[in-house]
């Protein structure tokens, strides 16, 4: 149920300089979703009356991602004045008319916080009657964070930014997580008093705390129980740590749900993936996007699946696949490459060093070795010999190859598309199939073999090959002569 007294502001205007990236920091991904989308999903879970998101750096790219995550989010453009305080100052103008409740401010770069922690923070704020409640965290390495300064009786006094802190303040291990609940009136009053008189020349949201204290209001800092939940992402080292943390949670969640994951450390599963009971994931496997895996399937080792569907009991070994559908009890790999539109029906096989693109391979059909299958339809119970190549591209356009049911082709065939091979037909080894093959026919396109005796001795005299050939031929003649005498 929507909480009419709760508004959430997500801060997403910063550049993220420490990422050293042409991609805005908040669009870097963990578990398959941009950093800021994790924050927005958590914001949505609280069912606030409004979500306001503040953007500036790369505003179009960032706001597109925000709107994709929360379609009704209100996008606020921050002006040239830098700082988290300025971001909130501009956002509160867009609160619903007459809003008198609480404003929850979320840093867009703290993606691991969960909705329960935030709900708890809002509740504690409401029951304490404080003007502001800050989520804090006690950490091993506080560098870069704002420190929570408490007065002698332990009461929360203010936040000092890393760059503005004294040596004594830098020794404090309780940090500001960048998550705050404010009563809207107190917040509005003090934002007007912020200055840019600090080491970074920014309007710090954190200064609102000190201003509130000086105005005689109560503020409180509530430490989070698991400090990792409050970790912010400023650089790529922190990004990979947060991604590993989230991945460990996702893997564990699936394990507790009946999925065997042999090696959690080398198994990466996006939040958007779904797995059924008794799926087995072997080491070195990445499951990404909208991938689904049905029960009893075995995926891995060393397999990457992006937006794929894997059927019940299928096996997919050492494979790279995108937008492919693998049927029940089908077998793929090792070393297969499935590109978009590859569909393998039940009990089918795509084997070693086989690439398949935009092709449908029917039930029980096999493409076992060293093949390229593109823009092709293959019927049921077909077996393509080793080295089958569909020549689907004539330099101008792509063409289709159509292969009926129960077709068996010889090794090393080229199917020059467009071409059709009828039901039950066969082809000889090395055939280059340029014309349609009628149902039940045998297609041969290779000229009969001719052996020209003595060709090497005549045309390559003096070579090693000519020498051994001469020896072999005279031994053969002597042998033939002896056999002739005997017989």
Q: Which range, of 53-61, 229-237, 239-247, 272-280, touches Ca ion by CB under 5 A?
A: 229-237
Q: Which structure tokens are listed for 197? A: 């008189």
Task: Mark 233-262 with x for binding to Ca ion (rule: CB under 5 A) and - for no binding.
Answer: -x----------------------------
Q: Which range, of 102-110, 281-289, 317-325, 469-477, touches ligand UD1 by CB under 6 A?
A: 102-110
Q: Using CA atoms, how far apart are residues 317 and 337, in angstroms rounded to an integer?
A: 11
Nearest approach, Cβ of residue 220 and ligand UD1 (Å): 16
Nearest approach, Cβ of residue 16 and Ca ion (Å): 8
Among 37, 42, 90, 107, binds ligand UD1 (CB under 6 A): 107
Sign of CA dihedral 347, 348, 352, 356: negative
Q: Which residue is it, tokens 């606020």? A: 76
Find out whether 433 and 445 touch, Cβ atoms under 8 Å: yes
Closer to Ca ion by Cβ: residue 37 or 303: 37
Q: Is 42 in the site for ligand UD1 (CB under 6 A)?
A: no
* Residues contacting 348, CB < 8 A, separation 6+: 327, 330, 331, 361, 362, 363, 364, 365, 366
Which residues 185-214 are close enough to bind ligand UD1 by CB under 6 A? 204-206
Give the one entry of ligand UD1, Ca ion, none that residue 206 binds, where binding means its C-beta sits below a cut-off of 5 to 8 angstroms depending on kind.
Answer: ligand UD1
Residues with catalytic roles: 369
- C-alpha radius of gyration, the chain, whole number: 34
Nearest approach, Cβ of residue 39 and ligand UD1 (Å): 8
Find out whether 250 and 265 touch, Cβ atoms under 8 Å: no
Q: Which residue is it, tokens 């201003």? A: 211
Q: Is 24 in the site for ligand UD1 (CB under 6 A)?
A: no
Q: Which range, of 77-85, 220-228, 326-334, 370-378, touches ligand UD1 by CB under 6 A?
A: 77-85
User: How many other CB atoms sit within 10 Å of the CB of residue 104?
Assistant: 26
Q: Is 82 in the site for ligand UD1 (CB under 6 A)?
A: yes
Q: Which of 383, 372, 377, 301 is nearest to 343 (CA)?
A: 377
Q: Which range, of 76-84, 164-172, 264-272, 405-413, touches ligand UD1 by CB under 6 A?
A: 76-84
Nearest approach, Cβ of residue 377 and Ca ion (Å): 53
Closer to ligand UD1 by Cβ: residue 209 or 261: 209
Among 8, 11, 30, 33, binds ligand UD1 (CB under 6 A): 11
Query: What's the distance, CA 227 to chain centroid?
Result: 26
Among 232, 300, 301, 362, binds Ca ion (CB under 5 A): 232
Find out whether 118 and 179 touch, Cβ atoms under 8 Å: yes
Q: How many residues does the chain have?
A: 487
Among 89, 102, 109, 207, binds Ca ion (CB under 5 A): 109
Sort 42 into a burial class: Cβ within 10 Å, 0-12 / 13-18 / 19+: buried
Q: Is 161 in the site for ligand UD1 (CB under 6 A)?
A: yes
Q: Which structure tokens are listed for 21? A: 């990236």
Find out whether 45 and 4 touch, Cβ atoms under 8 Å: no
Among 58, 102, 109, 174, binds ligand UD1 (CB under 6 A): 109
Closer to Ca ion by Cβ: residue 234 or 266: 234
Q: Using CA atoms, how far apart are residues 356 and 344, in angstroms rounded to an integer?
A: 10
User: How many other CB atoms sit within 10 Å of the CB of residue 225?
Assistant: 10
Nearest approach, Cβ of residue 272 and ligand UD1 (Å): 23
Nearest approach, Cβ of residue 235 and ligand UD1 (Å): 10
Find out whether 379 and 360 touch, Cβ atoms under 8 Å: no
Helix (H) / strand (E) element for 332: namely strand 331-332
Task: Mark 378-417 with x for binding to Ca ion (rule: CB under 5 A) and - for no binding.
Answer: ----------------------------------------
Give the one entry of Ca ion, ligand UD1, none that residue 313 binds, where binding means its C-beta sits below a cut-off of 5 to 8 angstroms depending on kind.
Answer: none
Q: Is 161 in the site for Ca ion (CB under 5 A)?
A: no
Q: Is 145 in the site for ligand UD1 (CB under 6 A)?
A: yes
Q: Using CA atoms, how far apart are residues 6 and 49, in angstroms rounded to an integer?
A: 6
Nearest approach, Cβ of residue 55 and ligand UD1 (Å): 8
How many residues bind ligand UD1 (CB under 6 A)? The answer is 28
Q: Which structure tokens are listed for 245? A: 């943390």
Q: Which structure tokens are listed for 259? A: 């999925």
Q: Using CA atoms, how far apart are residues 243 and 32, in angstroms rounded to an integer?
A: 10
The residue of the chain with the least Cβ separation from ligand UD1 equals: 146
Return residues touching Ca ion (CB under 5 A): 109, 232, 234
Return residues touching ligand UD1 (CB under 6 A): 11-14, 54, 78, 82-84, 86-87, 107-110, 145-146, 159, 161, 175-178, 204-206, 232, 234
């Amino acid at each position: 149920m929507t909480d009419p007294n709760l508004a959430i502001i997500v801060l997403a205007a910063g550049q993220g300089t420490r990422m050293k990236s042409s991609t805005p920091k908040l669009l870097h991904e963990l578990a398959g979703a941009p950093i800021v989308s994790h924050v927005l999903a958590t914001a949505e879970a609280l069912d606030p009356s409004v979500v306001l998101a503040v953007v500036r750096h790369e505003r179009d790219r960032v706001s597109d991602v925000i709107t994709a995550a929360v379609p009704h989010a209100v996008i606020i453009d921050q002006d040239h004045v830098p700082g988290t305080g300025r971001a909130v100052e501009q956002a509160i103008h867009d609160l619903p008319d007459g809003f008198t409740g609480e404003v929850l401010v979320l840093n867009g770069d703290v993606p691991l916080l969960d909705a329960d922690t935030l709900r708890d923070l809002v509740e504690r704020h409401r029951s304490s009657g404080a003007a502001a409640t800050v989520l804090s965290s006690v950490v091993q390495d506080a560098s870069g964070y704002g420190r929570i300064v408490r007065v002698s009786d332990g009461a929360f006094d203010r936040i000092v930014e890393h760059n503005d802190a004294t040596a004594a303040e830098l020794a404090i291990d309780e940090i500001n997580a960048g998550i705050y609940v404010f009563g809207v009136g107190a917040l509005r009053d003090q934002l007007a008093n912020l200055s840019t008189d600090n080491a970074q020349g920014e309007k710090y949201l954190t200064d609102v705390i000190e201003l509130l204290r000086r105005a005689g209001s109560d503020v409180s800092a509530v430490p989070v129980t698991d400090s990792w939940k409050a970790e912010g992402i400023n650089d790529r080292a922190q990004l990979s740590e947060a991604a590993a943390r989230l991945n460990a949670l996702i893997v564990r969640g699936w394990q507790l749900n009946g999925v065997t994951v042999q090696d959690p450390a080398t198994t990466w599963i996006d939040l958007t993936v779904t797995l059924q009971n008794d799926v087995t994931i072997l080491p070195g496997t990445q499951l990404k996007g909208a991938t689904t895996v049905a029960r009893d399937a075995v995926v891995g080792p060393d397999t990457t699946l992006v937006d794929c569907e894997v059927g019940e009991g299928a096996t997919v070994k050492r494979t790279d696949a995108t937008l492919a559908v693998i049927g029940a009890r089908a077998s793929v790999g090792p070393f297969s490459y499935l590109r978009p539109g590859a569909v393998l029906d039940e009990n089918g096989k795509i084997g070693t060093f086989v690439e398949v693109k935009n092709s449908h391979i029917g039930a029980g059909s096999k493409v076992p070795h060293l093949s390229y299958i593109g823009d092709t339809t293959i019927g049921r119970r077909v077996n393509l010999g080793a080295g089958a190549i569909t020549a689907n591209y004539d330099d101008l356009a792509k063409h289709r190859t159509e292969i009926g049911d129960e077709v068996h082709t010889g090794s090393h065939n080229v199917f020059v598309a467009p071409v059709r091979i009828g039901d039950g037909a066969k082809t000889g080894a090395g055939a280059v199939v340029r014309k349609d093959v009628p149902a039940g026919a045998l297609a041969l396109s290779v000229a009969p073999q001719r052996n020209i005796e003595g060709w090497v001795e005549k045309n390559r005299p003096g070579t090693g090959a000519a020498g051994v050939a001469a020896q072999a031929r005279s031994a053969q003649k002597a042998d033939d002569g002896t056999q002739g005498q005997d017989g």
